[in-house]
Amino acid sequence: MSSEDARRWDARHADVDHVGPLPPDALRGRSELLPAGGRALDVACGRGAVSVWLAQRGFAVDAVDVSAVGLAALDGVPGVRRVHHDLDRGLPDACAGPYDVVVCQRFRDPSLYSAFVERLAVGGLLVVTVLSEVDDEPGPFRAGPGELLAAFGGLDVLTAQEGNGEATVVARRP
C-alpha cells in the first residue's frame, strides 16, 4: 500500500466518531463457532470493532492495520495489541501465531491466504469476508467465483457463501 493509501484510510477513519464492538459479519448469530478463548488475529482491522468484540470474549487480540488513525481507536482497550503495518508487505513478523481465530473482513490480498492458514492453530477458526464479482461487477479488489473455497478448501469448511458482491468462508483447521 502506498503512503497515499495510508493517508486515505487515515482520513476515512478520522470521519468516524465511534464504532462499538461488532462480531465479524460471518459470525453474526454463530458465535458458538468461536473457541473458548486464546489468541486472535484481526487483519486489516480498521477501527477495531471486531478486535474489541473478540477481546470482550476473552481473546488476546493482535489488531493489524495500515491506518494509525484507525488503530488509535483501540487505545486503552484491554486485551488488544495494536500493530501498525502495511499488509502489502505480508503479515507482520510480530504476528507469528499460532492463533485460535484469524479474521479478515473486506481486505483482499490472495497472496496472504496461505499466511492466514499457517498462523492458524490446530482447531483454530478462520473467518474471511471479501468483496466478490459474484452478482456484482469485476474489479481488482473483488474475488472471482470460487476463490475463497479454492484457497481454504484444505481446511474444514463450516460455511461458505458467494453472492450480492460478497464472498465469505468460515473454516476450522483440522
Which pTM value belongs to this model? Answer: 0.90
pLDDT digits (tens, 9 = 90+) for 40-69: 999 999 999 999 999 999 999 999 999 998
> Which domain does 39 fall in, by range?
3-172
Q: 170 - beta bridge partners?
A: 127, 159
Task: Tally Cβ neighbours within 10 Å of residue 167.
Answer: 25
Q: 105 - beta bridge partners?
A: 129
* 47 within 8 A of 75, measured Cβ to Cβ: no
Nearest to 114 by CA among 150, 140, 166: 150
Distance (Å, rounded) from C-alpha 6 to C-alpha 81? 20
What's the CATH number where 167 sits? Answer: 3.40.50.150
How many domains, in total, are found in the chain?
1
Per-residue cell: 58: 476473552
pLDDT digits (tens, 9 = 90+) for 73-118: 999 999 999 999 999 999 999 999 999 999 999 999 999 999 999 9
